[in-house]
Amino acid sequence: MPVLMVRYQVAEQGVAEVTRAVQAAFEAVRAQQPKGLRYSYFHRAGSTEFIALLDLDEGIENPLFGIEAARALQATVARWAVGEPPKPQPVERIGSYGSAP
């Protein structure tokens, strides 16, 4: 499966809430430790832009759909997103080192 990127902007007043929702989602993911998942989330410093990268092993269903805090994150993002609605876009990995997918 390709690496998927989700990139979006939120309203200025939503940055803190989205950040808390991301932190809660990652806490839940760490607790459940789903196999075959590599997941990273970024907030571009000084902006309202967020970027998520998701990489799943071949044949693995996305376990985030089964994690309540990850679903709550999606709802929070939907509430605060401005501009284009966030949607996963495949990206091609041309290099990687360390923990980022």
pLDDT tens digits for range 13-48: 999 999 999 999 999 999 999 999 999 999 999 999
pTM: 0.91
Instruction: State which amino acid sits at residue 71.
Output: R
Q: Is the pLDDT of residue 84 over 90?
A: no
> Which helix (H) or strand (E) is 69 found in, with range?
helix 68-80
* The CATH number of the domain covering residues in 3-91: 3.30.70.100
> Which helix (H) or strand (E) is 85 found in, with range?
none
Instruction: For residue 47, give Cα distances in angstroms to 14, 33, 82, 95, 99.
Output: 12, 30, 13, 26, 24
